[in-house]
């Protein structure tokens, strides 16, 4: 019995088609495919997003910061190169994110869990936090161990009426971070981790921000104290643009009158700085 192969009916393969099949895919095309896949994954998860109100940053995010996800904020080095044990810039940016999430769920509780770093450590000042959200909505919890901190955050995510949870920690336990990320995704409530030291390379967070204090700009001709400024970098962006060249750093300025952040235009620049390393680039994607 004669055997007929299906390939007998197929059109002949030209040399051009063969060359196209074996041609390497360009880096730009791979970049676009990865970006579309990440955006689709975020939409398929049914997660809401809260924009930061800063077009230059929101353009890199999937419609904003995802709720039901884990976000990390770490303190960056000061101009002297030293990382403070309790950095006010990182804390201020974390409070700003809490305020954005709180606006999405009016009346919801904000859980702030922290482990004191020493005898001189003091909790956040309520009057200062009022610039970002109503301190009456804040539930402050103090623990002795990192295990208790992550347990409290997970339990808080399961409680009804919770707007967001935040934990101050130095722990680098990937298992605890993974559990917290899954709990946030299941509840649809955002979880924030505020770190006074750089975060571990491997992490399950959706975004990671590095925040450092920046010199303020005084009024020309005067010796007044200018508005608060922060230098921030987006160190990891799970569902956004993964390229290092597309992930710049920004100089942000806080306006006490409007209670809004704005990007200082002349400070906007790319992240292709001399102090970037290969490990830094790897931490942007995940």
CB 67 within 8 A of CB 189: yes
pTM above 0.85, yes or no: no
Q: What is the pLDDT along the chain (286 residues), one digit of tens a residue?
A: 554 444 554 555 555 544 554 556 666 666 555 555 555 555 545 568 999 989 888 888 888 899 999 999 998 876 566 665 556 889 999 999 999 999 999 989 999 999 887 666 777 888 888 889 999 999 999 999 999 999 999 999 999 999 999 999 887 788 899 999 999 999 999 999 998 877 666 678 999 999 988 887 766 666 667 788 899 999 888 887 655 555 568 999 988 788 888 898 864 444 434 343 444 334 444 4
Using DSSP, state whether 229 is helix, strand or coil: strand
CB 108 within 8 A of CB 98: no
Q: Which CATH superfamily is domain 51-118+126-282 in?
A: P-loop containing nucleotide triphosphate hydrolases (3.40.50.300)
CB 185 within 8 A of CB 117: no
For residue 10, give both structure tokens.
């197929």
* Helix or strand (DSSP H, E) at 168: strand 162-168
For residue 100, give both structure tokens.
């954005």
Neighbouring-strand partners of residue 66? 49
Domains of the chain, by residue range, sit at: 51-118+126-282
Phi, psi of 44 (to 5 degrees): -65, -30
pLDDT of 62 reads: 81
């Amino acid at each position: 019995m004669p055997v007929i192969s299906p390939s007998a009916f197929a059109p002949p393969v030209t040399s051009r088609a063969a060359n196209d099949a074996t041609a390497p895919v360009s880096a730009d095309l791979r970049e676009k495919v990865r970006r579309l896949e990440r955006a689709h994954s975020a939409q398929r998860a049914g997660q809401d997003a809260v924009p930061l109100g800063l077009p230059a940053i929101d353009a890199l995010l999937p419609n904003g910061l995802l709720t039901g996800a884990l976000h990390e904020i770490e303190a960056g080095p000061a101009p002297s190169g030293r990382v403070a044990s309790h950095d006010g810039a990182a804390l201020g940016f974390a409070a700003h994110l809490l305020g954005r999430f709180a606006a999405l769920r009016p009346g919801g509780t904000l859980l702030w869990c922290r482990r004191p770093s020493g005898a001189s450590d003091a909790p956040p000042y309520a009057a200062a936090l009022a610039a970002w959200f109503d301190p009456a909505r804040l539930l402050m919890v103090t623990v002795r161990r990192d295990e208790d901190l992550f347990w409290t955050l997970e339990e808080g995510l399961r409680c009804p009426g919770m707007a967001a949870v935040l934990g101050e920690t130095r722990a680098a336990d990937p298992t605890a971070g993974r559990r917290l990320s899954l709990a946030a995704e299941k509840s649809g409530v955002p979880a924030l981790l505020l770190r006074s030291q750089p975060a571990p390379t491997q992490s399950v967070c959706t975004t990671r921000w590095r925040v450092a204090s920046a010199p303020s700009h005084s009024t020309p001709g005067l010796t007044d104290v200018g508005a608060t400024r922060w230098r921030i970098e987006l160190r990891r962006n799970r569902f956004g643009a993964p390229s290092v060249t597309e992930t710049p750093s920004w100089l942000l300025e806080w306006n006490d009158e409007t209670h809004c952040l704005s990007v200082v235009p002349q400070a906007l620049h790319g992240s292709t700085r001399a102090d970037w390393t290969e490990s830094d680039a790897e931490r942007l994607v995940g």
